[in-house]
Structure 1
Amino acid sequence: MAAIVALLAAVTLFGAYGWQPAAVDGYRSPYEGSYLDTSLARFHYSKTGSGSPVVLVAGGAQWLYSYRDTIPALARDHTVYAVDLPGQGYTTVKGDFAYDIPAMARALGAFLDAAGLSTVSLVGHSWGGAWSLYYAEQNPDRVDRLALLDSPGLDKPLASQTALFSIPVVGELAVKLMGRADFEKSLRTAFAHQDRVTPEVVDVTWHWMSRPDRREAFVQLVRTQDYTATDAGLTRLRARTLVIWGQADQWLPASYAEEYGRRIPAATVHVVPGAGHNVHEDAPEQVNPLLAAFLKR
């Protein structure tokens, strides 16, 4: 019996830390764009339009493609940069990377420096909003406007959908065993309008998410998102702030938006009826005009 237990333990540990799943091959996204090299990472990004700079930061297990409907709406009046931070899309890190909120904020700063952007407006969704929030709190002279889309940042429990990945060994196994169907099932919980989760929406993200390094990065991100510091800095936030939330968000309750409204100085809050966690993808016809009006100078 002891030998069987030892064998099962060895197989489990090998699966969690040794075996690597195969990535999707033979696919190239039409949304793959430009690259900026820094000492920290090779950043994948897109640049569209002209005018004052707006930088879009996608959420966890998402990339700049998630802003496909947002970019043209904002590019009428702005130079719109959409960037993949470490662990997202086609950005690759150079050397070890912590993946905690301060590290992600430093990565955002490294991109802004490389792009020659001194003062910007930031739009962040979900985890991307938390990283943008922390960056704005720590660098008040570089962010004039901040839009948070269904973004954590309050010192509250993490989304239950990611709880499994926070468990050692179990999390590693779960992310490695995840297939396209599992990814699609999870993604659908972020949308109220299920018709918007098309095969393309799944495929263009699953392509890079299936890579072993991106799976590992996702687990590290789940385990390092500590919102104590972002929560503590809310009342000192200087950037004009807009909070947009999907009323039907299954990941983070819309009550978080109201708390942001109470605690961030002069914040404006909009809760979008019938929209889910990926509010900008789920209800672009409501969200884009709100963003455009907020960012217009």
Structure 2
Amino acid sequence: MGVAQTLTAWPHAEHSRFVSVRPHVWHVQEMGEGETVLLLHGASGSTHSWRDVMTDLAKDHHVIAIDLPGHGFTKLGSRHRSSLPLMAQDLQSLIDDQGWQLKAVLAHSAGAALALRLLQETGSNTPLIGVNPALTPFKGIAGVLFPMAARVVAMSPLMTNMIKRRMSGPEQVISLMSTTGSNISAEGLDLYARLFRNKDHVDGTLMMMAQWKLDGLMADLPRIEVPCVFLVGEKDKAVSPKSVKDVAARMPHATVTSYEGYGHLLHEEAPGLVADHVRDVLRK
């Protein structure tokens, strides 16, 4: 099935377009008018995870959601540009090309690390609202073995196909989503299953995991002047709520708001709550 056919049944497909800014061909969704808010998903996600947040925010804002390089419908132009600094450079090129004047960035999980690096590099005071931000490296030997394993798998098309088959079945998707600590809708589960059946998406996710290093960002935390609001689901099993609070304590302008009963996919479980937080930040 081609991209156009697949997009036809994708959330907000009527707001989708493709933008070629070297080295990638970006999938972009835009809606609404007003102050511009950029939405960045996390590793293995796509614009679909923001579908309800976008509808809410677009009532009074200009909302932009993108698929990160190699994810969703964004075509990865280089297999060697999935690291944090290079992805931030490529995202800035897209922003410059489109002339977007960002008033806030809303980012989930690894997308928050990307947003933080992006805003830090430009010296921007644009606020970041991070949903369960993944800002710390894996601990201990996992920090060495996990990226190494992802790198080995990403080099083998056969292994990528095997992972795709093992991740995309209904039972496997339900099991995988349970590791987030979130309860999402049947529609959400189906959308993730469709993503995981996409070989390019799985490959792009593995490339990002293989190249993702946060040591430099961690070292910079005390000097990052970006105003940050971190929203934490206390049931998050993917990113420790304590790690987020520890990171915020090292930053000069970061606060944490915690919510009982929600997991890693807080923005899919409570989109209205997240959208209202963005509004609160922009009103200040």
TM-score (norm 2): 0.84
1:57 Cα deviation (Å)?
Answer: 0.3
For the residue of structure 1 that corresponds to 2:127, the secondary structure is strand
- Which range moved further: 112-121 or 274-283? 112-121
Cα separation, 1, equivalents of 2:147 and 2:253: 36
Residue 89 (structure 1) aligned with residue 72 (structure 2):
yes
* Percent identity (aligned): 22
Question: What secondary structure is seen at the aligned counterpart in 2 of 1:268?
Answer: strand
After TM superposition, give the deviation of residue 264 of structure 1 in Å: 1.6
| Contact 1:257/1:271 (<8 A) preserved | no
Q: 1:287 to 1:148 in 2, by over 3 A?
A: same
CA offsets per residue over residues 93-146 of structure 1, 9 Å max, x none? 2344421111221222122112212444211101111111111121123x5111
The letter for the 2-side match of 1:236 is R
Residue 59 of structure 2: aligned partner = 76
Q: Which amino acid aligns with 1:240?
A: P
What does 1:56-135 correspond to in 2, within 5 Å? 56-135=39-118
The 5-angstrom pairing of residues 258-273 of structure 1 reads 258-273=245-260
Corresponding residue for residue 174 of structure 2:
184
Q: How far apart are residue 271 of structure 1 and its match?
A: 0.9
Q: 2:117 matched to 1:150?
A: no
CA distance in 2, matches of 1:216, 1:281: 24
Alignment partner, residue 242 of structure 1: 229
Which structure has the greater CA radius of gyration? 1
CA contact (8 A) 1:165 1:175 kept: no
Aligned partner of 2:198 in structure 1 is 211
1:30 is matched with which residue? 10
CA contact (8 A) 1:241 1:266 kept: yes
Cα separation, 2, equivalents of 1:156 and 1:233 = 18
C-alpha distance in structure 1 between counterparts of 2:5 and 2:28, whole Å? 22
The residue aligned with 1:278 is 265
What is the identity, as a one-letter code, of the residue corresponding to 1:270? T
How far apart are residue 35 of structure 1 and its match? 1.7
Unmatched 5+ residue regions in structure 1?
1-21
Q: In 2, Cα distance between the equivalents of 1:122 and 1:25?
A: 28
Structure 2: distance between partners of 1:84 and 1:245: 23
One of 27, 51, 60 as aligned partner of 1:44:
27
Matched, 1:290 2:264: no
Residue-pair matches, total: 271
- Aligned residues: CA RMSD: 2.9
Moved more, 116-125 or 175-184: 175-184
Contact preservation (8 Å) 2:71, 2:200: no
SS at match of 2:126: strand
CA distance in 1 between partners of 2:88 and 2:4 (Å):
31
CA distance in 2, matches of 1:271, 1:115: 35
Q: Show CA shifts across 1:177-210 (max 9, x none).
A: 4242323321232243x3x231x21232332432
Q: Helix, strand or coil for the counterpart of 1:85? A: coil
Q: CA deviation at 1:258?
A: 1.3
